Structure 1
Amino acid sequence: MRLETSLFAQAMQRPDKLALVADGQRLSYAQLAHRVRRLAAGFEAHGIQPGDRVLILLDNGIDAVCCFFALWAVGAIPCPLHPTVKAEKLGQIAASTEPFAIIGLARQREAMQAARQTAGLRCALIVAGGQERPPGTLLDLNELLSDDVHDEAVGGRKESELALVIHTSGSTGTPKGVMLTHANVDFTCRAIVDYLGNSCEDVILSVLPLSFGYGMTQMVTAFMVGATLVLEKSFAYPRVILKTLGEEKVTGLPLVPAMAGMLTGMSDLQPGFLPHLRYVTSAAAALPPAVADRLQSLLPSAKLFIMYGQTECIRATYLDPAERAARPLSVGKPLPGTGADILDEAGNPLPAGAVGELALRGPHVMVGYWQQEALTAGALETTADGPRYRTGDLFRADQDGFLYFIARKDDIIKTRGEKVSPQEVERVLHAHDGVLEAAVEGVDDALFGQVIKAHVVLRTGFALSPRELLRHCADHLEDYMIPKFIEFHEALPRTTSGKIRLSLLNETASAQEQVA
């Protein structure tokens, strides 16, 4: 099914049901669908055609939601980007995608104009947010809202058509445009709805950017079932989010591990303080078991779903909450109707317990990277069961088919002739009561090839020396896995999707202390 179809169907079935809470407004399904149709008619009137790409640089809000669904309604392809994207990267992406338009906020006009010039394009620049149109901008989003709207659904669109081009830098820093069809996203979101048990009774609060696959799925899944979606722009002010969670009686809360760490670090929160919360999900990075345990203690009535995915398939696995106690390190099993293989370097399947590269099969797998044939050929391969995506992540599977993330292939630390998964060391660091966040990397060493360096953020009120933390590691790790360096920070740098990116650290602003 095409993605816009769900919204229009809900507007017919439950027109007065609250659909979206954002920007201080509350829209019913009928109101939201009508606004989407008005915008779609405006897009068509200004020349947007099926297959056209449109870059979206918007904060979470009504305008962003309407842009996605209006573009899908006319057969165009949203290319969402985080609103903080820099002009240079925006120019690279614009040159590749050749968009019909770039939609952003007034504060982004210089970056949008520079990107258009860099790419050598004449694409329209559209300003959203209801702000006064700045000089040099061609259109205002509100001016595109047409009154010449027909409420019947547009026919003739196919689910095999592209729904999204989501750009991800991965470990290389070079933007890759992941191409996902309506069928890809629809399949994945219906699987998510099924295992979360979503219904029209749910109220889902998301601070995850809609430019991020994990955030975008909150929007799609909510409107699939007629739930209410509450959008906030970020988790920068946790107390505000907590207040909203209570006031809106939120039942579903998607998190990234950094957010979980912040919640569990608030000493004044009492267990059960969110009685309406039915489930919590965690994805985007590994959630250390110690943090998961603290989160579950704080939210005892909520089911905690640990998930794994990549932009190239949105969601690949989930762990049934009933299995978490027995398998705290697992990310679960593949989505129903999909498959996962653990492969050796030659591409041969490995037995249970062996570590190899995870490869994914199923209707959720992307169709390729936008205009990057070589990258596509390296990531996708043809099998008897259809295309298979090589994730670049090292995994193992147990005898029951549960999957365990080990590390990114490029992140494995080779020290003293041994291979060390950063995640294994990070889990031990997180298990210390004084550690709020931890990330591990390998640094070059003339004697050992690499040695392990840990970056740590302490919980408020804890005074912990490197040697104390080293002793904790020595109690739980083999000698070659113990960090050589421990560096304390006030915070660790993150990508817009919430992943720690150690390459962004300003080492001159931090104090390093050798502990061994």
Structure 2
Amino acid sequence: MPESTRVEDFLRRSAAAYGGKTAVIAGGRRLTYAELDSLSDRLAATLQAQGVERNDRVLIFMDNGWEAAVSIYAVLKAGAVFVPINPSTKAERLGFVMRNCRARAILTQARLQPVVSAAAINAPSLRFIIAAGAGQTTSDVTSFETCIATPASPEPHGGTDEDLAHLIYTSGSTGEPKGVMMTHRNVEAAASSITTYLGSRADDIVLSALPLAFGYGLYQLIMAVRIGATLVLEKSFAFPQAIFETMRTERATALPLVPTMTALILQMKDLQPGALPDLRYITSAAAPLPPDHIRRLRALFPNVRLYSMYGQTECMRGTYLPPEELEHRPESVGIAIPGTEAFIVDEQGKRVDPDTIGELVIRGPHVMQGYWEDEEATARALRPGRNASERELHTGDLFRADADGFLYFVSRKDDIIKTRGEKVAPKQVETVLHACPGVAEALVIGVDDPILGKAVHALVVRSDASLTEREIIRHCARHLEDFMVPKSVEFRVSLPRTDSGKTSRRLAAKSMEATS
């Protein structure tokens, strides 16, 4: 019989092969594969005893930590669907998710119970709460520690790899968040493809400060467990020097980053090349890295393979740039990940020629099943493919491809700024801004202008406090066409971000409206 592709079986197989090996390191706790397998069995048995059944939705509302890792596999072993929620989420949004997916239970932490209680008031489907660090059991809350104290095994649930494995709620550019549905088969396809092009190994030690509620962070756990590697979980990247010390102590070989983290690393004054001697590869996703940041990262980590990638929650990963291509195409996000296809179409859905801008389409077994109970949004994103049973993901992102087929992100469709009758892609301006000495981070948006219609406005975080607006505009004027040069520059301590840490034009525009 073919090997199971259910995600919980990744853990069972690794526990059988690497039982005494460290699987997860978090907050001073080290779990071996045998312990992660046993503890998740115990919690899964409790979930079933409390009434959780196959395909029920269970929220995981926790910090990055070993309890979250145990919870993810416990929900899957119970036959249910896990729904990871960022611990910074407020009660209103948490309550929406509870009601929207009709959550049966929530796994959380004692410090987050006030938020859970406020959110649960109008969530009739929620039957029980399990909280870590809650101390004694109450009528409303079951102790996580009690649930994992006694050996137990979950009952067989009869699930298949076509069942949903997880729902991840996207921030969405407008309106309420949407639940992205991924089956066990989708998860296996994505994890298999990514570990293939990364050349992931069982002896890898991956340090991740990305939230487990964020697809990029979640898959660090899923992929590590799938191949028998070790995952070091950190709650944040706020103190990169401490992170690097942990990496040296644990001899980390892999570091997943988003552009925000890269900006913090590049601001470290005393970081010398070769500071992480065991590091084998770095990955970057969430948003394309500016070429200047790529150049500086490569100088700091000269013997490390750097993977620039593109993805969406709706497919987890879409493209990657082979590290050997960085020298020749630093602005590219590469080619389709193994076993998938990525191509560009025009407004009529026809494939375009090289160097023609159009919408990126992703095709493959890693593409989502759709948005939870939102047929209209699903129909916009998933459209009929070349095979009768297939649907392809229309990403809503504008791309172009060069003559060799390498892909370049241009903009979100709705981010294009129309000014002076011209179209400006914010990323192109941001690339120039990031190359300006003294700029740590930059975000470009369009603001209303009575003459131009929209004016290009730059939000900038400085690494040099003496840098002026005039100097930035002059720098841009040397490298951009006149209509692309920012009309104004606003200095900020930090840029608006989504829960996943990605800079957000929508939040930036809202903050501008609120202060106008």
Judging changes above 3 Å, is the alpha-carbon distance between structure 1 residues 85 and 133 closer, same or farther for their aligned structure 2 residues? farther
- Of the three residues 465, 485, 488, the one matched with 2:488 is 485
Question: 1:492 is aligned with what amino acid?
Answer: L
Matching of residue 387 in structure 1 with residue 386 in structure 2: no
Question: 1:463 is aligned with what amino acid?
Answer: S
Query: Equivalent residue for 2:24?
Result: 20
Matching of residue 242 in structure 1 with residue 244 in structure 2: yes
- Of the three residues 239, 253, 256, the one matched with 1:254 is 256
- Of the three residues 340, 343, 347, the one matched with 1:341 is 343
Residue 300 of structure 1: how far off its partner (Å): 1.1
Question: 2:298 is aligned with what amino acid?
Answer: Q
Judging changes above 3 Å, is the alpha-carbon distance between structure 1 residues 133 and 287 closer, same or farther for their aligned structure 2 residues? farther
Question: 1:52 is aligned with what amino acid?
Answer: D
Judging changes above 3 Å, is the alpha-carbon distance between structure 1 residues 100 and 155 closer, same or farther for their aligned structure 2 residues? closer
- Of the three residues 216, 219, 228, the one matched with 1:217 is 219
| 1:439–1:455 Cα contact (<8 Å) kept | yes
Judging changes above 3 Å, is the alpha-carbon distance between structure 1 residues 19 and 332 closer, same or farther for their aligned structure 2 residues? same
Residue 234 of structure 1: how far off its partner (Å): 0.8
Query: Equivalent residue for 1:167?
Result: 169
Cα shift readout 1:293-340 (whole Å, capped 9, x = no counterpart): 111111111110000000000011100000011011110001122112
Alpha-carbon distance between aligned partners in 1 of 2:478 and 2:327, rounded to the nearest angstrom: 23
| 2:102–2:126 Cα contact (<8 Å) kept | no
Question: 2:477 is aligned with what amino acid?
Answer: A
Question: 2:30 is aligned with what amino acid?
Answer: R
| 1:165–1:179 Cα contact (<8 Å) kept | yes
Q: Where do 5+ consecutive residues of structure 1 fail to align?
A: none
Alpha-carbon distance between aligned partners in 2 of 1:331 and 1:136, rounded to the nearest angstrom: 52
Query: Equivalent residue for 2:471?
Result: 468
| 1:116–1:123 Cα contact (<8 Å) kept | no
Listed as ranges, the matches of 1:41-440 within 5 Å are 41-128=45-132, 130-133=133-136, 137-145=140-148, 147-150=150-153, 154=156, 156-385=158-387, 386-440=390-444
Question: 1:396 is aligned with what amino acid?
Answer: R
Residue 390 of structure 1: how far off its partner (Å): 0.9
Question: 1:108 is aligned with what amino acid?
Answer: L
| 1:278–1:303 Cα contact (<8 Å) kept | yes
> SS at 1:437's partner residue?
strand
Residue 290 of structure 1: how far off its partner (Å): 0.3
Q: Which moved more, 1:209-218 or 1:378-387?
A: 378-387
| 1:368–1:380 Cα contact (<8 Å) kept | yes
> SS at 1:119's partner residue?
coil
> SS at 2:122's partner residue?
helix
TM-score by length of 2: 0.95
Cα shift readout 1:120-149 (whole Å, capped 9, x = no counterpart): 344212212x23258663312222226353
| 2:319–2:335 Cα contact (<8 Å) kept | yes
Residue 491 of structure 1: how far off its partner (Å): 1.4
| 1:318–1:333 Cα contact (<8 Å) kept | yes
Judging changes above 3 Å, is the alpha-carbon distance between structure 1 residues 462 and 111 closer, same or farther for their aligned structure 2 residues? closer
Alpha-carbon distance between aligned partners in 2 of 1:136 and 1:9, rounded to the nearest angstrom: 37
Alpha-carbon distance between aligned partners in 1 of 2:454 and 2:157, rounded to the nearest angstrom: 59
| 2:204–2:254 Cα contact (<8 Å) kept | yes
TM-score by length of 1: 0.95
Question: 2:256 is aligned with what amino acid?
Answer: P
Question: 2:250 is aligned with what amino acid?
Answer: E
Q: Where do 5+ consecutive residues of structure 2 fail to align?
A: none
Residue 341 of structure 1: how far off its partner (Å): 2.4
Runs of 4+ aligned residues of structure 1 deviating over 6 Å after TM superposition are: none
| 1:35–1:145 Cα contact (<8 Å) kept | yes
> SS at 1:496's partner residue?
coil
Question: 1:394 is aligned with what amino acid?
Answer: L
Question: 2:429 is aligned with what amino acid?
Answer: V
> SS at 1:327's partner residue?
coil
Alpha carbon RMSD of aligned pairs, Å? Answer: 1.8
> SS at 2:150's partner residue?
coil
Alpha-carbon distance between aligned partners in 1 of 2:224 and 2:415, rounded to the nearest angstrom: 35
Question: 2:308 is aligned with what amino acid?
Answer: I
Query: Equivalent residue for 1:39?
Result: 43
Residue 46 of structure 1: how far off its partner (Å): 1.6
| 1:106–1:131 Cα contact (<8 Å) kept | yes
Cα shift readout 1:80-128 (whole Å, capped 9, x = no counterpart): 1101111111111111111111222222222212222123344212212
| 2:103–2:126 Cα contact (<8 Å) kept | no
Residue 503 of structure 1: how far off its partner (Å): 4.4
